[in-house]
Amino acid sequence: MKVIFLSLILVLVSFQAARGADRAVVDQVLAVVNHDVITQSEFDAIFRPVYEKIKESIGEAATESQLREIRLKLLNQMIEDKLVYQESIKLGIEVSDVEVEEEFGAFKKQFQDEETFEKELKLSGVSVSDLKQQFRERTAITRLHQHVIRGKVVVSPEEVAKYYAEHSGDFVQKDQVELWCITVRKNQEAIQKGLMDETAKEKVEGILAKLKKGADFDKLAKAHSDDASGAQGGSLGWMGRGDMIGGIDSVIFSLPEGALSDVLETERGYHIFKVGKRTVGVTKTFDDVRDQIRDVLFRQKAHLRFLAWMEDLKKQSYVSIR
């Protein structure tokens, strides 16, 4: 459950509230944003879960320069979030207590019980009032984006048609085949030196002989395949043309439905493939992808509009990093 809580805190980084008034007088001020401040303890409360995520993904390998860059990006994000929330107040964007309680209640339901929730809340260093304020600000900022950014973005039919014409290759659905595989790995020396592994080859050829006599592919894959797919009877799911390394790809797509391949060798081992159903690739029509393209263009325009709006907002504001 701790992961769930940290995930929420990470999401709320973009909506972090100004809570300088709640901090101790001795708390160091990192930045002044108009009439608000960002304190060290406020920053640390956000940075801690971010740092934990970094350690999970790359261990302790992050250098001090990388951490400095992450800290600076996070501080700049917090500054922008404060500016946006301040602007939402100026525009009179309101979020009712009822809405806040509904969102807070939905969040609490993710926890096993009240005791677990209270424990995780305490460990995070975030109070109930802080959390509710974050929900309030997140909703206010979302509404500001809708009012100032998204509500002003228009994507014309001509733009959508132009994008389709210029990116038609992006909408080609490749030939696909349903595929199963049995893999027998080479020994480590053979892999390292690029040699043949006679023992592995003999084993896989014996498996192929059994398959040709009608043995069950699923059972043999589970019993003998060294690939992780063996646990699923060798199923690789659907594979597209070009998804597999050269030689294998051309062989697979030359086989009819239901056919078995011969033993195919790669640098890591020997493989037998079984081909299932096939689909022929087609180019999706404009009507098929019209809405998808519009969404792409809308997001691009909204992002650019937000960047310009934020730049203008910063010019009108007082921001000082200490």
pLDDT of residue 203: 95
pLDDT of residue 3: 41
Give the ranges where the chain is alpha helix by DSSP (H): 2-11, 40-58, 64-90, 97-108, 114-124, 128-144, 157-166, 188-193, 198-212, 217-224, 246-252, 286-315
Tens digit of each residue's pLDDT, the chain (322 residues): 444 444 454 444 433 433 444 444 457 999 999 999 999 988 887 888 788 777 776 666 667 888 888 899 999 999 999 999 999 999 999 999 999 999 999 988 888 888 888 888 887 777 888 889 889 988 999 999 888 898 899 999 999 999 999 998 889 888 999 999 999 999 988 888 888 899 999 999 999 999 999 999 999 999 999 999 999 999 999 999 888 876 888 899 999 999 999 999 988 899 999 999 999 888 899 999 999 999 999 999 999 999 999 999 999 999 999 8
pLDDT of residue 285: 93
Q: Which of 94, 48, 101, 87 is closest to 71 using CA atoms?
A: 48
pLDDT of residue 59: 62
pLDDT of residue 61: 63
Distance CA 320, CA 322 (A): 6
Per residue in 190-220, is it b (16+ CB within 10 Å) or e — as a string?
beeeeeebeebbeebeebbeebeeeeebeeb
CB 270 within 8 A of CB 186: yes
Distance CA 162, CA 35 (A): 46
List of domains in the chain = 2-152 (1.10.4030.10), 175-280 (3.10.50.40)
Enter the tokens of residue 232: 């699923």
pLDDT of residue 223: 95
Taking residue 105's Cβ as centre, other Cβ atoms within 10 Å add up to: 9
